Structure 1
């Protein structure tokens, strides 16, 4: 293990000696007594020591164009076109077979058998062909006994027994021996059988590790349970990417904005996305029938600011030059593939539907910005540097789509954005100040107990560490009572070489505890944190006077009609509300606290819903501590005057009791 307790002890002694003002000769004597004191002091976390992480996967997947109608010739044609079109050179490396490749056969030993009329030479032959083109091969299965093609057949008859349940390790070994590099694991069978998403996918991840121990290969794991099991709470470190929503396009459906916007919104789970783990809003529709050039660019802008996997779904062999150029724009792809590996977050919506998203990029003072107009009319949108965590100093702006400089601007930048469109920018400015916290213990994975924040919100956290091994090491990060997320720490070259990786964490106002814990095997040696605000995400907690607990959305769910509740205050994003100038209380950046079904009677549920501008989503904070709904005039109330975790929030006639009094902090 790279950690040296003696070295940490020496650092503490040295600090005490310096404080006492001993002479250099005294320090030299101390060095002679303790050789490890000659090692350099561990550095404070600084962004200039960043290390690149695995970027989101890029490639092509068969489903959105071919559905179940795939065979050896179709896949060869698309692999050839990825290379000849220049898409492979631009980074599109994966060729992923989706549903339809397997019609459900197994031999007497339970091994998968395939139709060699469709796949001459079997699946190893097609994987070998893909590899011969300098590309990587992906394949598809289901976590249950049956695959999606059994329940929802498209271009081929329903095929039974196309899932991997009961054969997890066996099938994963098979895929690895065939030479595949990536596997997408769907959930149709799992759903029909009533299986538990977290349980099954963690079993699959363990089976993948066990299979790798046998074959020496490893598969990238794409969990595809459509966000139904809230994978952003548990999938990091088990899957490499996980779907956060339902399909962006169904069979025989025309591509549309509604699902594109929905999938983008639901993929924004910033605490879960970091160090090579990615929220997945589904495959791209760029270049499909019904998609205009403007809509293709919008789609790429949304997926790029989100740092989403880019799996093209069009027919690459027949695409237009215009489509190819949209898919391969190098500055847009650089935003998506940024080596810091973080997700963009919403930092402003001064006017409903005119939104600003910011993504922290590698380097110092670097941001990507998306100005997103979700309305039906062109409008000016402004990004303020302060909202992004940049100092209010001159910053330079560049348009990624036109690949031209827009100029240098003080405090912010304004431009017109067409209706239902976006402008994607990069900004180079000056980082705002942050706070550094040094570990002064002997712990390899320490707890930082005094991490302070002037307001609740999403923070940029740079973690300084050393990993002297040859492979990435893992540890979890847990803020207060929130979920623990697995963080991957790439090798730094030696046990005394320190680098930083970054995460986005949600902190409460005041003092927070940030705890690291080893996962398995050797842990990285974590030394320091640098914490910097992203002020556009700042909000308040709504604390009940009777309970001391916070208004909370259970388990970080974003599902409309989820009823708000009381829970121990943790500073989580599901407990951070933004008060808009329109009188709304907004959680997650896009869900409003809402009086269910425009209710105006006692007992009306207080739920979350897409913000609509309705009066039932507007609230007034009163001087006596009550909060009244503007439609009904009723008070926000903890049901039955209860104070326990899980107590539901509703509307009730104002009565002056403490269960109707709240503090916005």
Structure 2
């Protein structure tokens, strides 16, 4: 820190100061990306629901634990044996403690947890956020009695689970939904109960939030639970597994800005190995969960798996992609009418995982370009995760992908240039600046860039040539024995809690990474804040762009072309909305002049309309002229069939303004920036 910066900081902090742990300056010669600190990986194991529903008892669970060990799955990383709904019929003793049927669970729940642990595995259990659990509202396999939820007993139940020896708790939302509870507030209370239980017993208890994605838990789940469901169940009791189930939950689970530092999106337990899926479909299922960095929680009956399925589940290259220590989720970087490329930034330098997904009915040669991965256009090594074949390529790599199939690759190349923004109070010669806002509890020795206790730090002027997703590596110091947190807000959008594991000392630098959506230009702001607890010392950020879906921004409104409510049904309204880089604003331009979203839906002039006011919607891509568009150098987007322009109706600029076709007139409400 310069003397000038120190004087500026001293002026900002002319308030009574709280005592603070010692702080250390990061070595200025250390690159942001060096010493990437490993974050907790997504959970791996098995859960009982998909194969057994509520028909479970100690015998069922023991047989599955034994089968997991016999198949060699623990050596591949599968550790959790999770007891889902159906274990408890809602009874409590006079002290309010959960009691169970000892005929079904001899020795009680502590005994089954002990058995699981005796196999070298971890034990998981289940409850509901409401008064009554899912089995009460939706009897499946057998009905549940009332009272099988934890509402009113959060602290008591979490402590009991921990004392029984459980390592994982899934908290469902059937009762919470039926009662109209507020998800964020409810799970905040449950999270606090989990933390208190762990502090009391000394046993970590991983919290799985199962709110089904109704109220966007990806916006608030980080810092409350280790994982949160992003959709409804992948399969319902009595159904036969199919690939459509896999694709639906995969699509709904992609929220890359939410997944980082040990907090993950959960597209639900897997159906790999269940009746109905072929060996190739099992491989694609694994590819998609791995590229998502999703929990690998199997739902098949482990005692019935064939050797081919077991070998697939144990594929070391695939598991390594899922469990990568950087903890990020893939971003869709290319989409040509259902031929999709997803890229995940891996730990280390110049390493990427790439899933090529062909959702069409014909085999296709698909190409991944280094530039789309944030890599330099120099020679890179490419490895196929399933064949083990390794080759090298100069600027891109092409491979044939069968219909409705996928290929998973790992690419090792050279990082493209990135921008670094240092935590200084004034200008930064390396391309950016950060402003420190007064913090109420900083010590006199606290460096510029520390969030501290109650502080705020802004990185201003963060640039992105075309907008879209970027990987931000955050350099920091945390000399404590435990992790610290700070909230990150990008351009005023919903904040997320970022975890900063210990770096070993107050003079040792580390970095963790997040994926953030940036607007085009150089006016992006990343704000780190902290309240009520000490954050780490933050020093600098490094920003590396990834190619992603095209944002289409209105020249007059500054808002993005958006699918209403993230809808995916035919006829869903297309409108203006604040740009947020979510999947319902990520458009892809195809060689056939289509503009696609979600991979298989096209921007469509409703019912082939060619008159002023024709609604613009999304529809299954069909190659017809009412789904073809010409993007002009003048900023217009013209319908090939109609010759009319994409138009913000009635010069509207507000959220929810509908988009229509209208005679091209040169107005700002008909001009768009695509990129």
| Superposition TM-score, scaled by structure 2 size | 0.87
Contact 2:113 2:166 in 1 (8 A): yes
Q: How far apart are the structure 2 equivalents of 1:227 and 1:71?
A: 29
The answer to whether structure 1 residue 500 and structure 2 residue 484 are counterparts is no
Contact 2:555 2:673 in 1 (8 A): no
Aligned to 1:542: 553
User: What root-mean-square deviation, in Å, do the aligned CA atoms of Structure 1 and Structure 2 show?
Assistant: 2.8
Aligned to 2:520: 509
Aligned to 1:619: 629
The answer to whether structure 1 residue 429 and structure 2 residue 413 are counterparts is yes
1:89-119 deviation line (CA, Å, top 9, x unaligned): 1111100001111112122333221111111
Aligned to 1:199: 185
The answer to whether structure 1 residue 664 and structure 2 residue 673 are counterparts is yes
Q: Secondary structure at the match of 1:50?
A: coil
Q: How far has the Cα of 1:50 moved from its partner?
A: 0.9
Aligned to 1:638: 648
Q: How far has the Cα of 1:521 moved from its partner?
A: 1.2
Selected match of 2:533 from 521, 541, 546: 521
Distance 1:639 1:190, change over 3 A: farther
Selected match of 1:264 from 250, 254, 268: 250
Contact 2:92 2:98 in 1 (8 A): yes
Distance 1:414 1:566, change over 3 A: closer
Q: How far apart are the structure 2 equivalents of 1:38 and 1:174?
A: 41
Contact 1:361 1:367 in 2 (8 A): yes
The answer to whether structure 1 residue 648 and structure 2 residue 632 are counterparts is no
Q: How far apart are the structure 2 equivalents of 1:342 and 1:562?
A: 30
Q: How far has the Cα of 1:317 moved from its partner?
A: 2.5
Selected match of 2:389 from 397, 400, 404: 404
The answer to whether structure 1 residue 286 and structure 2 residue 272 are counterparts is yes
Aligned to 2:449: 443
Q: How far apart are the structure 2 equivalents of 1:259 and 1:46?
A: 40
The answer to whether structure 1 residue 470 and structure 2 residue 476 are counterparts is no
Q: How far has the Cα of 1:328 moved from its partner?
A: 0.7
Distance 1:599 1:145, change over 3 A: farther
Q: How far apart are the structure 2 equivalents of 1:39 and 1:484?
A: 27
Q: How far apart are the structure 2 equivalents of 1:590 and 1:620?
A: 19
Q: How far has the Cα of 1:461 moved from its partner?
A: 1.0
Aligned to 2:433: none
Q: How far has the Cα of 1:591 moved from its partner?
A: 5.3
Contact 1:637 1:659 in 2 (8 A): no
Q: How far has the Cα of 1:169 moved from its partner?
A: 2.0
Q: Secondary structure at the match of 2:303?
A: coil
1:146-169 deviation line (CA, Å, top 9, x unaligned): 222122222112432222222222
Selected match of 1:458 from 448, 465, 469: 469
Contact 1:143 1:190 in 2 (8 A): yes
Aligned to 2:496: 485
Q: How far apart are the structure 1 equivalents of 2:386 and 2:158?
A: 40
Q: How far apart are the structure 1 equivalents of 2:386 and 2:165?
A: 37
Q: How far has the Cα of 1:633 moved from its partner?
A: 5.3
Aligned to 2:438: none
Q: How far apart are the structure 1 equivalents of 2:250 and 2:308?
A: 24
1:520-555 deviation line (CA, Å, top 9, x unaligned): 4110111111111113x163441242x344444568
Selected match of 1:347 from 330, 333, 337: 333
Q: Secondary structure at the match of 1:169?
A: helix
Distance 1:586 1:518, change over 3 A: farther
Contact 1:460 1:505 in 2 (8 A): yes
Q: How far has the Cα of 1:570 moved from its partner?
A: 6.1
1:434-468 deviation line (CA, Å, top 9, x unaligned): 11111113231321101111111111111111111
Selected match of 2:342 from 353, 357, 363: 357
- Unpaired stretches in structure 1, ≥5 consecutive residues: 1-7, 15-35
Q: Secondary structure at the match of 1:106?
A: coil
- Unpaired stretches in structure 2, ≥5 consecutive residues: 8-21, 426-447, 452-456
Q: Across the two proteins, how many residue pairs are aligned to each other?
A: 632
Aligned to 1:31: none
